[in-house]
Amino acid sequence: MRKKLDVWIIFIGLLFIFFILSPDFRSVGTIKALLLLIPTNGVIAVGMTLVILIGELDLSCGAVLASSGLIMARILPFGLPTAILAALGWGGFIGFINGWSVSKLKINSLIVTLATTFIVGGLSLLISDRPLHFNNQFLRIFGNEGFLSIPYTVMVFFLLVILFQLLLKKTRFGLKIYAIGGSQLAAHYAGIDVKRIQNFVFIISGLLSSLGGIILGSRLLAAGPIYGQEAAIVAITSVLIGGTVLGGGRGDMIKTFWGVMVLGILTKGMNLLLLPAYLQDMIVGSILILTLISSKIAQRKEIISR
Amino acid sequence: MSFISPTFLTVRNIVTVIKNLTTVAILSFGLTFVFISGGFDFSQGAILLYSAILIISFNPGTIGGVFLYSLLVVGIAVLFGTFNGVLIGFFHLNPFVVTLGLRNVIAGIIFISTAGMTVGATAQSPVLEYLGLGRFTRWLPVQTVFLISIAIICWFVLRFTLYGRKLLLVGNSEIVSAYSGLKVEQLKCSSYIINGLLAGIAGILLGSQVSHLLPELAWHYDYDAITACAVGGISLLGGRGTLLNTISGLLLLGFINNSMILLGLPFAWQQILKGLVLFVAVAADVWVRRKLYE
């Protein structure tokens, strides 16, 4: 017997509720607009899932997102491929610094990423203290158009989810991630190179955060130093809603996918119901706390029933 | 620094540095309790702002009114702290994420109650104005007296009472302290309550200092407080540090801030430097720990 309420059921339920409550919700255009808002958080949540699976946290997502958007905007005159590579390279570099500090210096990942948030945030203010607007045909199409009314950015998100799900479930790398999340010490004694995996995961998280910046930039055709400040908490919340457990070792990408969808539909659906936008902060925060409580209760029940 | 800027070593500047530290200082005293018991708090900056906004937006007029209203505001702050404490202490939830969530919730409440605009007192009550801007003699601001007395109380509690010792033990090892009969859950909870209380008091002092406040621009206090604790040598992993650590960290951070302003460094560079200082401080803490174990 299935006792747990799966997240996708909540998603369908929410879809249904908004469908009834809001007439605007019943058009294809609205759904497409809603879909466009999801992938920025989605790709960051994919990276965050890996980070949470090995039992760490990454707060620097928002700063990396903003700064890579700015870098892309600044380098765009030198050609699009260079700009995108530079942005991704920057994200990967920050991810490497985070990973190196966690694995080699053994600093708490939260504090490291808090410090890099300051540093990267300051650097992006140096790059530009106001939003930069740019125009690029390819980026405009990539960010706003789609194939068969599925936006390209959403396809990228779907592809990443599938790719990383396979990586987690079918490869040795994925197995090692679960092992480290279960117990770092045990993984170390089992001969797994914990430091290398930690480095790798943080680099991936950095890369995906800057991909989030590129996606946001291509949708808005602009980049600014304070864009995406909330990215980290939103990503953490969507990962946890999905059912991935804080502390590591349990969870996967499909869960995160549904978590992203639920949070996306909840916060953006509220806009359609004409609830004020600033309620979103509160909703994200309270959902985060509620999810934590409920997952704790579920864990306790599991232990008792064993 | 005193060579580069002639104003640096004047009494006036030093008094200014200490006065500007008041808010961050009281926050970091609260954080000290949380840190040495092995916890973490992201939400106190939000609690601070909310109480500051409450104090600014209402004008009780008389001394008694101000006193009662301040009690109410501190009560709300304590309520937030208790919320954290119960969830983290008794439900064993992750302190980072709980307080991050509460921070967002309070940010939402602040946004709703201010509609994103500057909060301003229509007519600031003279009592609050004296609390915020008054001086006892030429060089001693009222706020600094508050600051020093709170510091002495906190120092005494942490250094000389059984409670302070228990908190340290809990931060060192929860298992050991549980086996030695300490009520770990209650102790952890209490540290968050104290943190909420101090954040509320800091909010009242901040609110009385300024008659207008744009919440959007005031989100940096708690990060400064975290940095001050880390720089002073409070271990963010728990179990180590006294209030003197925090105070030395505060003074260092205050003078770094002050120097950056006197040198005319742009905000972006100030951010970068603060991040580097936090990074180096924590790295040094971890390094010292490892040396101790070896």
Interface test with A, best of B103, B104, B257 (most A CBs within 10 A): B104
Q: Give Cα A281 to chain centroid, integer Å.
A: 16
Residues contacting A171, CB < 8 A, separation 6+: none
SS (H, E, C) A63-114: HHHHHHHHHHHHHHHHCHHHHHHHHHHHHHHHHHHHHHHHHCCCCCHHHHHH
Radius of gyration (C-alpha) of chain B in whole angstroms: 19
Query: Is B275 in Cβ contact with A115 (below 8 Å)?
Result: yes
pLDDT at B81: 94
Residue contact B275–A118, C-beta within 8 A: yes
Nearest residue in A to B285, CA atom: A107
The whole-number pLDDT of residue B2 equals 62
Give per-residue pLDDT as tens, B257-280.
888 888 888 888 888 888 888 888
% of chain B exceeding 70 in pLDDT: 95
| Subunit contact A236:B97, Cβ cutoff 8 A | yes
Region of poorest pLDDT, from A182-196, A269-283, B253-267: A269-283
**Mean per-residue pLDDT for B104-117?**
84
pLDDT at A3: 47
Segment A33-40 mean pLDDT: 83
The residues, any chain, with a CB within 8 Å of residue A239's CB and separated by 6 or more, are: A45, A48, A49, A52, A251, A255, A256, A259
Residue A64 has what pLDDT? 93
How many residues appear in chain A? 306
- Give this complex's ipTM: 0.78
Chain A residues touching residue B108 (CB < 8 angstroms): 278-283, 285
Separation CA A36–CA A27 (nearest Å): 15
- B203 within 8 A of B50, measured Cβ to Cβ: yes
Contact residues, chain B, for A108 at CB < 8 Å? 236-237, 282
Task: Return the higher-pLDDT residue of A164 and B291.
Answer: A164
pLDDT tens profile A2-29: 445 577 777 888 877 877 777 766 777 7
> Which 8-state DSSP code applies to residue A57?
-
The token duo for B110 is 């602040």
* Candidate ranges B84-93, B136-145, B256-265; pick with highest mean pLDDT: B84-93
Q: Could you report how far apart the first and last alpha carbons of chain A are, in Å?
A: 15
Residues of A with CB under 8 A from a CB of B: 57, 101, 105-108, 110-112, 114-123, 125-126, 129, 230, 233, 236-237, 240, 246-247, 276, 278-286, 288-289, 292-293, 296
Q: Is the pLDDT of residue B8 over 80?
A: no
B260 touches chain A (CB under 8 A): no
Q: What is the largest CA-CA distance in chain A?
A: 62
* pLDDT for A2: 43
User: What residues of chain B lie within 8 A of the CB of A63, using their CB?
Assistant: none
Of A129, A246, A278, the CB nearest to B94: A246
Mean pLDDT score, A241-269: 84
Mean pLDDT score across all residues of chain A: 85
Is the model's pLDDT at A1 over the cut of 60?
Answer: no
pLDDT tens digit string along B216-228?
777 788 888 988 8
B108 and chain A in contact, CB less than 8 A: yes
Nearest to A292 among B97, B111, B112 (CB): B97
Least confident of B122-131, B214-223, B249-258: B122-131
Residues in B closer than 8 angstroms to A282, CB to CB, are 104-105, 107-109, 112
Characterize A202-222 residue by residue with b for buried, 16 or more Cβ atoms within 10 angstroms of its Cβ, and e for exposed: bbbbbbbbbbbbbbbbbbbbb
CB spacing of B282 vs A247 below 8 angstroms = no
Give the pLDDT band (50/70/90) at residue B3: low
CB-based contact, B69 to chain A, within 8 Å: no
With an 8 Å Cβ cutoff, is B230 touching chain A? yes
pLDDT tens sequence across A49-104? 999 999 888 989 989 999 999 999 998 888 888 999 999 999 999 999 999 998 88
**Are A289 and B98 an interchain contact pair (Cβ–Cβ within 8 Å)?**
yes
Residue A24 exposure: Cα atoms within 13 Å on the Cβ side: 11
In this complex, do A111 and B278 lie within 8 Å of one another by their Cβ atoms? yes
Tell me what pLDDT residue A137 has. Answer: 84
Dihedral of CA atoms B19, B22, B23, B28 in degrees, nearest 10, equals 140
Residue A127 has which token pair? 């790059």
Across the interface, which of B100, B230, B237 has its CB nearest the CB of A233? B100
Q: Contacts of residue A105 in chain B, CB cutoff 8 Å?
A: 283, 286-287
Cβ–Cβ contact B100 with A under 8 A: yes
CA distance B273 to A122: 9
Q: Virtual CA dihedral for B122, B127, B133, B135, nearest 10 degrees?
A: 160
- How high is the pLDDT of residue B122? 64
Please compute the mean of the pLDDT values over residues B104-112 and round it to a whole number: 87
Does residue A282 surpass a pLDDT of 50?
yes
Nearest to B104 among A118, A281, A292 (CB): A281
- At B100 the pLDDT is 87
Nearest chain A residue to B87 by CA: give it: A293
Query: pLDDT tens digits for B47-65?
Result: 999 998 888 887 666 778 8
pLDDT tens sequence across B172-193: 888 888 898 888 999 999 999 9
Residues of B in contact with A240 (CB under 8 A): 97
Average of pLDDT values for A259-280?
77
Q: At what angle do helices B44-57 and B11-36 cross, to 10 degrees?
A: 120
Residue B7 vs residue B290, higher pLDDT: B290
Residue A306: pLDDT band (50, 70, 90) is: low
Judged on CB neighbours under 10 Å (0-12, 13-18, 19+), B192 is buried
The domain locations on chain B are 11-293
Query: Between chains, do A101 and B279 touch, taking CB under 8 Å as contact?
Result: yes
The share of chain A scoring above pLDDT 70, in percent, equals 95
Q: A101-143: per-residue pLDDT in tens?
A: 988 888 888 888 989 998 998 898 888 888 888 888 888 888 8
A4 or A247, which is more confident? A247
Dist CA B252 CA B242 (whole Å): 16
pLDDT of residue B113: 83
Q: How far is the CA of A71 from the CAs of A65, A91, A128, B32, in angstroms? A: 10, 10, 9, 38
Q: What count of CB pairs under 8 Å joins A to B?
A: 131
pLDDT value at position B194? 94
Cβ-Cβ contacts under 8 Å, B40 against chain A: 110
DSSP for residue B239? S
**Nearest chain B CA: its distance from A141 CA (Å):** 33
Residues making up chain B, counted from first to last? 294
Looking at domain B11-293, does it have CATH number 1.10.3470?
yes
Q: Do B101 and A292 touch (CB under 8 A)?
A: yes
pLDDT at A46: 94
